[in-house]
Chain A
Amino acid sequence: MVSRPHGGRLVRRVLTGRRREIFEAQSGEMPRLEVPLERAIDAEDLARGVFSPLEGFMVEDDYLSVLNRMRLSNDLPWTIPIVLDATREWLESQGLSPGDDIVLLYNELPIAVLTLEDVYTWDKRLHAEKVFKTRDPGHPGVEAVYKRGDILLGGRLELIQGPPNPLERYTLWPLETRVLFKEKGWRTIAAFQTRNVPHLGHEYVQKAALTFVDGLLVHPLSGWKKKGDYRDEVIIRAYEALTSHYYPRGVVVLSVLRMNMNYAGPREAVHHAIVRKNFGATHFIVGRDHAGVGSYYGPYEAWEIFREFPDLGITPLFVREAYYCTRCGGMVNEKVCPHGEEYRVRISGTRLREILRRGERPPEYMMRPEVAEAIISHPNPFIE
């Protein structure tokens, strides 16, 4: 059977029926909080069970417990705080008490109703130190935290509607992947997290995992991008080209997940695994320097942290980085190839990007021609 949701039960908190009618009649008088896209995305992920068992933004007990021991206050593994911030000025202008309903708006569009349970402050430098292992504002995750409000609001929420999603056609929620895996008769599923187009190294790692499980969930994270990143639709096209030409029919599900990326390295690797468990995956492929940025984390730190969580309920797969060996004559990794550095041709994402940016085809030992074609034929494959 597929993985049980984290904490035992899949959270579903979409406002429907009578509750929705009451909301529509009363929402005009409710306090309102305009949130940025990142928080609107969190709200939808919470309501649709991506973050099960969380039912809303964290209250202080859970927040501190996650910060200090990487577990919720009930001891369940959880590594990344999911918190809602506001400013002191906003709070003072509202006169709120616990139990009050607050409407969260994104671009003036009602996204969710938060039932306030807790209001508290956070020490952002301590937060950065614990979650990101650095207080350096040069780290993009740390920088984002420093820009947030000083007050945190905790409480369960109900979704009214998610923020507009340009990739709706490719978005599946945990309930949907679970039904899908059941339909396909898959009992074991390895999830692959990505933000990139696939090269032969990725293919090797995925196929190594696929050798031992029934199916593969290729799960690109969509959402916030920086200049030079591949566009989401380019990543999808590239994977469609790869799987249709080089994977057996029916063993891959390609779906996007809109979720915020923190670049919190090891902690985020565990977070990514927990989230995929909620989608029904039984195995999670953990990359080298998974969710890292710059040189803030050691290359295998994201593997080591999993030792602290024997009770995660999803099996991490540590597949070594693949390279082309000119003596082996194929893609291998250092665990299976005895040859020296001089025979190893590593595939560099940066170099691939340069080649593709010029509209050229990378050599075939780096990228499948159909994948390269899918990227090059896009009028504008990179974020500008």
Chain B
Amino acid sequence: MGDKVSVEISKELYEKAKKFIEENGGFKDVSELVEFLLSEAISDEAETVGMTPEEEEEVKERLRSLGYI
């Protein structure tokens, strides 16, 4: 999980998030939910896919040859 830092959210939202987890499951605590949602929101495509520009060009070439682009 790595090092942790604190962030602040309103008490009201925190309580709502807690209730959401209790009713729906899927997350250990509010921190885990926040971490999940934040990473969903700001993740960078190239980073998650780990593709070099050359590889990306090769993929585009195939897509072009098949008529997809």
Interface residues of A (CB under 8 A from B): 1-2, 4-5, 8-10, 12, 75, 77, 169, 172, 175-176, 178-180, 182-184, 253, 307-311, 313
Contacts and interface: CB of A to CB of B under 8 A. Distances in A.
B7 interface: no
- Taking chain B's interface residues, is the majority helix, strand, or loop, or is none over half, making it mixed? helix
B48 A8 contact: yes
B63 A183 contact: yes
A176 to B, nearest CB: 5
Contacts of B14: none
B48 A9 contact: yes
A15 to B, nearest CB: 16
Given A180-B69, A310-B24, 15 more contacts: A2-B45, A4-B43, A10-B48, A77-B26, A169-B66, A175-B59, A180-B68, A184-B69, A309-B26, A310-B20, A310-B25, A310-B27, A311-B27, A311-B36, A313-B36
B40 A313 contact: yes
Nearest to B28: A75
B19 interface: no
B16 interface: no
Given A180-B63, A183-B60, A12 B43 contact: no
B41 to A, nearest CB: 9
Contacts, number: 62
Interface in B10-69: 20, 24-28, 33, 36, 39-40, 43, 45, 48-51, 56, 59-60, 62-63, 66, 68-69
Contacts of A182: 45
B59 A4 contact: no
A184 B24 CA distance: 35
Which 9 A-B pairs give the minimum distances between C-beta atoms?
A: A311-B26, A310-B24, A179-B59, A310-B26, A4-B43, A10-B49, A183-B69, A176-B59, A9-B48
A176 B62 contact: yes
Interface of B: 20, 24-28, 33, 36, 39-40, 43, 45, 48-51, 56, 59-60, 62-63, 66, 68-69
Interface centre among A178, A183, A311, A313 (most CB of B within 10 A): A311
A379 to B, nearest CB: 25
Contacts of B25: 308, 310
Contacts of A5: 48-49
A310 B17 CA distance: 12
A374 B50 CA distance: 40
Nearest to A1: B45
A6 to B, nearest CB: 10
Nearest to B65: A169
A184 B63 CA distance: 12
Interface centre among A176, A179, A309 (most CB of B within 10 A): A179
Contacts of A172: 63, 68
A313 B51 CA distance: 22
21 contacts: A1-B45, A2-B45, A4-B43, A5-B49, A8-B43, A10-B48, A175-B51, A176-B59, A176-B62, A178-B45, A179-B51, A179-B60, A182-B45, A183-B60, A183-B69, A184-B69, A308-B24, A310-B24, A311-B26, A311-B27, A313-B40
A81 B55 CA distance: 31
